[in-house]
Chain A
Amino acid sequence: MTTRPAPAASDPRRPVAPGSPHRGRRVLMKGNEAMAEAAIRAGCDAYFGYPITPQAELLEWMARRMPEEGRPFVQAESELGAINMALGAAATGARVLVSSSSPGMSLMAEAMSYMAASELPVVVINVMRGGPGLGSIGPSQSDYFQATKGHGHGDYRVPVLAPASIGEAMALTADAFELAERYRTPVIILTDGILGQAMEPVELIFREPPRIDAPWATTGAAGRPPRVVRSLHLKSEDLEAHNRHLQAKYAAITDREVRHETEHLEDADLVIVAYGTAARVARTAIARARDAGLRAGLFRPVTLWPFPSSALRDLAARVAGVLVVELSAGQMVEDVRLALEGRVPVAFTGRTGGMVPSPGEVVAALRDLATTAAVPDGRPER
């Protein structure tokens, strides 16, 4: 085996120790690769994947880096193979990552149900592309329903994290492993083709969440009674008890793990609710709107499940209208309407098919909403 030269100072593979002068330096990284490296530094034990645009770079980064770290990498025969490999590895207590894009996520739907039912921690990154069907390779947010309410059958939920920048995606990757293991659940990181493909300067700050005991893991029954990782509970009473246990878990996650961010809400008349790339477009739109005298702010859910319903409902009393912006035909907007319970007018603007709403379109939608909601046109006199 030939020795490889040590990575250059600017190479993100070079270990960054706390206190090192390089800690906090910024490097240009592609989103897919940044998430992959963040997973490796978070202690990802194994990666299973399948090529699909627009996340192939994540798989390729793992193909190169995981063997360097002496850790398993498998390009499976399909996403179906990949997610089931992850199921097996997770059953032994390993920290596991799978990535895909929308059509591949559909193939993983079955296993999501099994993993949720068997309570297996697996992190799944979805770099969303245009759909439905084979769709396009452009960015989209049209898997919101799938991620928060869909994939497989049965009564289960899965935490969904939605970064709006590559740096945030890196941080949420570490958080996702922690959430998955703390609650014994699959966790989805919902990104889109823009975040996956774009390059941004990111600070090389990584975090490896500590390991916790896994007394349920199948590791070989030496010196103890055998364990079974399963989801079959044929007696209805047993399955009901198991479902109650799962629901209690989801209630605990809802209590403790909701995350959202807000910007410019202190004096806002209108609020845009958006996540991921849509939130970034919204930011620009908000700046332009404010220049034109329209006081808008941003409410950015970071957990899509559990959805920040309470915080949104609290906001309703203070604003005159809500605009939801998505790269879809309107999916999160339904959760926004549910949360607001009709207290405030809710409007929607979005694009589908891989198209991205422009700030101009969003500003126009804000203006329409302002008219409907009868918001006074106030110039910023402060």
Chain B
Amino acid sequence: MIAVAESAPDDLSLGGAADPAGAGRAAPAPFQPVLIDVDRCKGCGLCVAACPKGILDLDDSRVNVQGYHPVRITNPDACTSDAHCARVCPDCVFTILARPKPPRAVPA
């Protein structure tokens, strides 16, 4: 089951958005198009091979609860949400989100 986060960022746009109110809030987290259920991953590497952008690899520095090196996305900005990774994954590790459209500029 997929849990919806209780507290969500105000703004899903790419990092570095302007702070219109000038209230000094921290920049919102960058949009993650690919959510990875780390503990389901078996480190099979099929997604790494399938990703047309080549932005997945297995994280040798960590081991998940099953004992495998789980997948990680190395460059979320380059992801186009084509979901090749999710489609070839035998373990439903990936949830793919649509990249939200950037906010339209308001004419001055």
* A and B touching (Cβ–Cβ under 8 A): no
